[in-house]
A and B are shown apart, each in its own frame.
Chain A
Amino acid sequence: MEINQALITAAGPGQSALPLQRLVDRDGIEKTALEMILAKVVNAGIDSVAIVISPGNEEAFRRAAGSHSDRVTFVTQSEPTGYGQAILCAKSFLGDSPFLHLVGDHLYLSSQSKGCVKQLIEVAAAEGCSVSGVQATRETMLPFFGAIGGVRLPQTERLYEVKRVIEKPTPTKAEQELTIAGFRSGMYLCFFGMHVLTPASLEILDRLVAIEKRPVSLAEALNELADRERYLALEILGQRYNIGVKYGLLNTQLALSLSGVDRDRVLSDMVELLASQKSS
């Protein structure tokens, strides 16, 4: 299976300015968050990207995309009617091909040389089915993520066959339906904010949106997808950083800097800061 296109959602309420935030990357170069995301996508071999934005943001996003702006198609979601609805806005762009989907308020740092996006795309291409990036997460964080239940594929270390998907499950539900054999108690596989999806997911979303008449989450569609066709989850070797939460941007910047060329400088700045705090 070939994956040549990507979809980034950035139209959620309060989300529209996040990809425009400027950060310093691992190489010490100042970039927008969007530019960093696009770089990872392009680096994974994808040359066509759609970004779902809210009305009136196209110009700012185009500027923020920097050198990748010519690969980007902007799709406008006129009203913030829901996550699933946002994805559906790009239906005609995506056509009948599998696609990579990322959220616009997350940055990913791989813990190995191969980037997070590339890890996911390689597996999806090899397995020929939808694959979601997941990460082992403590139950205390369940209110913030979608989570999956499933079984580990034989002979693999980080690949799971998904049986069930629940958006922001309570720990009660998670314990009943999402436990994974071999995991410590209270640990679940939660979404990493990164998926490779087949067109079937769009069909399901389309139908759900038509029936439910309410905001539909991607997790609902993916739960149905798991019933319908082979659907896997890959435990990504890396970290995700949500720049939309309190101190999210700061944490993301620190993570970038401490794993990059400016590590020593940032560390010494922090020590100095701590020392001056103490003396004051």
Chain B
Amino acid sequence: MNSQTSTENRWIETILSLDESVRHRTLESLCMGLDSDALLNAVSELDAFRRDASNLYHRVRAHFFLSAIYRYYLPKTFPETQAGLLPYEAYQHILSRRFPEAIDQLLVVQKEQGPTLVIASALSRAYHQLGIQTLADQVRRSVRTVRGNQWMFRIGHPSEHPLRLNKELHQRDGTMGDYPILCEKTSVRMDFSHSGWSDIFFLGMDYPEGARVLNASIDLGVYGRDASTRPPVEAYLRVIDRPVLRLVSTDLGVEAEITEIDDVFDFAKDYLGLLKSALIASGVVPPAMEGCHQKISQLLKSLIGKEGLGLELVSKVNDIPKGSRLAVSTNLLGSLIAVLMRATGQVSALVGGLELQDQQLITARAILGEWLGGSGGGWQDSGGVWPGIKRIEGMLAGIDDPESGISRGRLLPKHTILRDDRISESSRTALQNSLILIYGGMAQNVGPILEMVTEKYLVRAEKEWEARLDAQRIFEKIVDALEQGDIRRVAKLTTENFTGPLQTIIPWCTNRFTDSMIEQCRERWGDQFWGFLMLGGMSGGGMGFFFEPSVQAEARQWLLQTLVATKREMQTRLPFATDPVVYDFAINNRGSWCEMLRSDEATMPDGYYAIVAPKLIRQDIRELSEQSQRELMRLNRSCREGDGRARWLLDRLLPQTQTDSDTKSQLPEMLRINGFDRTQHEQIRNDLLSGRIGLSENRLPRQTLIEDISLNDIIDLREIGTRYSRSSDDAFLGRQAIESGQVAVVSLAAGVGSRWTGGAGVVKGLHPFAKFAGKHRSFIEVHLAKSRLSSELYQCPVPHVFTTGYMTHAPIETHLASVNNYHYSGQVLLSKGMSVGLRTIPTARDLRFFWEEMAHQVLDEQQQKVRESGHAAILGWAKSVGEGSDYTDNLPQQCMHPVGHWYEIPNMLRNGLLYRMLEERPSLRYLLLHNIDTLGANLNPLILSKHIESGACLSFEVVGRRMEDRGGGLAVVDGKRRLLEGMAMPNDRDEFGLTFYSSMTTWIDIDQLLRAFRLDRTTLGDTAKVENSVRAMAAKLPTYITIKDVKKRWGLGQEDVFPVTQFEKLWGDMSTLSEIRCEYIAVETMRGQQMKDPAQLDGWVRDGSAEYIHSLCKWS
């Protein structure tokens, strides 16, 4: 057997083996020592294998191996100069989720041209997404095939509806004539163990032996607000006297009456998606009825057995914030499903507790509901429906299970309730007397983390796999400690789990806020602080702190104050959705519970009347149905009894005076002080509405000739960038310039990084995004650490400028002062932004262009449906609010926008900073300008030498393009070398002919730049002249219209994302001006890559980029 065959076999053998020691071989051990040819052979064999593999997990594992080889191993075996081009069609296939076609096409190109950077990155992404898609499809199929769920996918017409509403629900009460109300109260769940995200279906279904959690149903009260704990979620159901489905969410303050069956499937139309999911998953509106175009009244007639009657479903969450990591949404879904299934006889008891088989069924339906709604949670999340503390464990699929032959494990886990004989009452009390549960206030998307966990498991990433095994050992110890009643040991173990295995598997599961809270607990409470417990997918949301019982009460008060203070201190750096909350909790030993409310007791919760009563009161009483009239009579009586309802009713019916703190009133002043130009704004609005500018008008004319650059027309340093010697002759000029104080660094920190936090409006530069040398460091700290190393190496302190904007200036200034500029020995300067724009409501034309004409990744089928339904809602919003009108319905900071990074250097001219720098340091000749997220940009003397030698005014750094590098590049446009923005491409396809992507890092010759502005070192001090010259330069550059997402926060941790229109001018367009001499320098990817999305972080660590950045830094 030759060595090539043995390499190929090693991979497939690993996938197929039943021997655990072979099956669990790690990615690293498989890839060790393989050269390019061996890796190419391996991927070729693996690809052939995955095409024929009939077993789902064999196929999926091959996909993830392929993805990892293309992402982390193969690119290291060939030079960066093999950048290559990505076929546009393959890219389109990937965006449209046609992954097999994309892979086929990419493999053909790879075969013809050899491996390239861009093809490898595209193949990695296609295999990864195909793997995830295959898993998601299988989970969806498995959910459908659970016995008890299948029928719902067959019943497609309301007249065939096989469910009947329990007759008790449509028997009117004798005295008042009202229908009774069925009220379900359900706990939420807490996970004591956090066994390495092992409850993800993708893991549990392949590795049931390792899938286990210790899950407790808990009742909650908000510390300082509620007198006692109670089940946090409630669902109400009753018959109403109109043939509609009325849905009311009291926590979100919305209601809707549904008359068409199709509307039940429109999840994003309003905030009632969860209630709709419950209706579908409970079988009341079976999923097979989607698109049946029938009336809901027809369905209700079959279901209730009488004409003219309808159903009302009401949800209530007892003011628990979203993102608490206690699975509030899933348990509310479970509660809603439970009440609907009770009412339709699908579970055994109409009232009281639930039987074991009912809990299993509701769990299965809740999973179905989550997948229908596009959220897809884990299998332990509906634990609140079950009673007490239970072990939930994955199960090997038996021969009778629908999963048999498809996956090793079953979709649904096994629940073992640990009753008093396992965990005594005294242990439970001891736990409650020690543990304090909190919500940290951060609501973050855990989706990327779950994907990372899945991938690392399937390829058995070495240290992560060891960590997983460790987490399993810790899990058993936690169970044992809890059974022994040794809470101190529980706390020690959960802390060990958090700091050890969890952070090894996913370093991003903690953050600066969490670390800081743990540090403060240790400092303040010493040995009386027993330990930390992380809840859910990542910390910052739900967390637990164990204290010695004797100090628990005091610690609770302290914890609340400290959490709020720490949040205040960090809120500009980390995306908090709301203030932290401390809970009281109690273990719920009876599980979800239902009562039938009759006669006077048959009232809906308070929040319901706040939504429904004003609407009823505004109608003529004679037009109201009898039931509605009685509802008002009951409300009247309760208002008279003085329970506070009268007041809130008035608040909702009558307008109130606006207070000074009203954020809308602050906006004009904020605009004024930040340099808002009303005239320019009105001009842009007029142009937008008349169609002179807009997304489609950003593009250059179609006849523009776009060509790729020849390698002879750039300075290519990709191969020698990191290997050059600092003492080499090639770097002499640069080295000399740095040593003699001719260079300063400018980091652009005016933007808020919309993509980084999904429009949350925190200062990206201050975000402590990753750990270096054992500590979370922000972008700004990293940039200063690079300048510190440069200053030491060249024995000359380098001035470092951070440009700021209206949103980032004060936080950056305050933060840098508080950390004493990270003890940076050189000057740290801030260049304050001088202009700001006001966002506007997008036009329907631009929204359509954005969604339909611009390239977007199509989502998984159900998520895509939700997205498209959301588009219709957003179009409706834009039209109703007024296209092109000012966006003012948010915090002032969120209504304003920075006007593009072109203004950053002109701002340094306008605010006098550059003038002062040149005055103080006449030797200053060059600036290194870079984006806040271009972490690899530093004072590299070789590149600076090339810039000086070239004599250019601006030297732009470019990198070989990878799949994810979208948004323009280096091109020859009608014969001229220039940077071309993605928005300006006449055709999306043009970008795919360009080898290089702009990193935005620019070396600037200050004197040449001043000349281009018709200024010099002296006239730079003349404010009026500077203003005129900046205005004149701005006029030469295009204005782009863009659509950005902005978050609006409301309620308790709720967030909406709205697309808004803004305009910007971009720095790269300086390369279009004939009077500015530009040069282009190709540098290695690690230097030029940008950190745009937190989901990039994991790959960035694994491919060695983080280590590379660390090597450029010297920490204070």
1/0 per residue, CB under 8 A from B, across A140-161: the answer is: 1111000000000000000000
Across the interface, which residues of A come within 8 angstroms of B717, CB to CB? none
Query: For window 122-152 of chain A, which residues contact chain B by CB distance below 8 Å?
Result: 139-143
A199 within 8 A of B: no
Min C-beta distance of B1040 to chain A, whole Å = 55
Q: Mark B323-346, 1 if CB is under 8 A from A, else 0.
A: 000000000000000000100111
Tell which of B162, B357, B361 touches A171, judged by Cβ atoms closer than 8 Å: B162
Contact B155 A140 (CB under 8 A): yes
Binds B, one of A172-180, A207-215, A225-233: A172-180
Q: Which one of A141, A143, A168, A171 lies within 8 Å of B151 (CB-CB)?
A: A171
* B283 adjacent to A185 (CB under 8 Å): no
Which residues does chain A contribute within 8 Å of B283, judged by CB atoms? 170-172
B652 within 8 A of A: no
A186 within 8 A of B: yes
- Candidates A142, A143, A170, A179; contact of B147 at CB < 8 Å: A179
Q: Which residue of B lies closest to A169 (CB)?
A: B345
- Is B154 touching A185 in the complex (CB atoms < 8 A)? yes
A172→B164 contact, CB < 8 A: no
Q: In the assembly, what is the distance between CA of A142 and CA of B154, in Å? A: 14
- Of all chain A residues, the one with the shortest Cβ separation from B348 is A173
CB distance from A18 to the nearest CB of B (A): 21
Q: Which residues of A contact B147 (CB under 8 A)?
A: 175-176, 179
| Chain B nearest Cβ from A51, distance in angstroms | 29
B338 to chain A, nearest CB (A): 13
- Which A residue sits closest to B357, measured CB to CB? A176
Q: Answer yes or no: B163 CB below 8 A from chain A CBs.
A: yes
Check A139 against B345 for contact (C-beta < 8 Å): no
Task: Pick from B152, B155, B161, B346: contact of A173, CB below 8 A.
Answer: B346
A173 to B147 CA separation, bound complex (whole angstroms) = 9
A171 to B163 Cα, complex, angstroms:
7
CA distance A175 to B151 in the complex (A): 7
Residue in B closest to A142 when the chains form the complex, CB atoms? B162
B148 within 8 A of A: yes
Given A139-B162, A143-B162, A143-B164, A170 contacting B150 (CB threshold 8 A): no
A141 to B302, CA, bound (A): 12
Interface residue count on the B side (C-beta < 8 Å): 20
Residues of A within 8 A of B162 (CB): 139-143, 170-171
The residue in chain A whose Cβ has the minimal distance to the Cβ of B152 is: A171
Interfacial residues of chain B within 132-156, with CB under 8 A of chain A in the complex? 147-152, 154-155
Question: From residue A186, how far is it (CB to closest CB) to chain B in Å?
Answer: 5
**Residue B160 lies at the interface, judged by CB distance under 8 Å to chain A:** yes
In angstroms, how far is the closest chain B Cβ from the Cβ of A189?
16
Q: Separation in Å of the A274 CB from the closest CB of chain B?
A: 23
B345 / chain A contacts, CB cutoff of 8 Å:
170
Give chain A residues whose Cβ lies under 8 Å from the Cβ of B344: 170
**Residue numbers in A under 8 Å from B163 (CB-CB):** 143, 170-171
Enumerate chain A residues within 8 angstroms of B154, measured Cβ to Cβ.
Answer: 139, 185-186
**Bound state CA distance, A251 and B160, in angstroms?**
20
Q: Which A residues are in CB contact (< 8 Å) with B346?
A: 170, 172-173
CA distance A184 to B152 in the complex (A): 15
**B347 nearest CB across to chain A (Å):** 8
Q: Smallest CB–CB gap between B3 and chain A, Å? A: 52
**Which residues from chain A contact B148 at a C-beta distance below 8 Å?**
172-173, 175-176
How far does the Cβ of A277 sit from chain B's closest Cβ, in whole Å?
Answer: 23
Residue of B nearest to A140 (CB): B160
Flag if B151 contacts A139 (CB, 8 Å): yes
Kindly name the residue among B151, B152, B357 whose own CB sees the greatest number of chain A CB atoms within 10 A: B151
Across the two chains, which residue of chain A brings its CB closest to B151? A171
- Give the nearest-CB partner of B360 in chain A: A176
Residues of chain A contacted by B341 (CB below 8 angstroms): 172
Can you offer 28 A-B residue contacts whose CB atoms are under 8 A?
A139-B154, A139-B155, A139-B162, A140-B155, A140-B160, A141-B162, A142-B162, A143-B163, A143-B164, A168-B164, A170-B162, A170-B344, A171-B151, A171-B155, A171-B162, A172-B148, A172-B149, A172-B151, A172-B341, A172-B346, A172-B361, A173-B148, A175-B148, A175-B150, A176-B147, A185-B150, A185-B154, A186-B150
14 extra A-B contacts, CB within 8 A, seeds A141-B162, A143-B164, A172-B346: A139-B162, A168-B164, A170-B283, A171-B155, A171-B163, A172-B148, A172-B361, A173-B148, A173-B346, A175-B150, A176-B361, A185-B150, A186-B151, A186-B154
Q: Which residues of B contact A (CB under 8 A)?
A: 147-152, 154-155, 160-164, 283, 341, 344-346, 357, 361
| The 10 A-B residue pairs with the shortest CB-CB distance in the complex, in nearest-first order | A171-B151, A140-B160, A172-B346, A172-B148, A170-B346, A176-B148, A171-B162, A176-B147, A143-B164, A175-B147
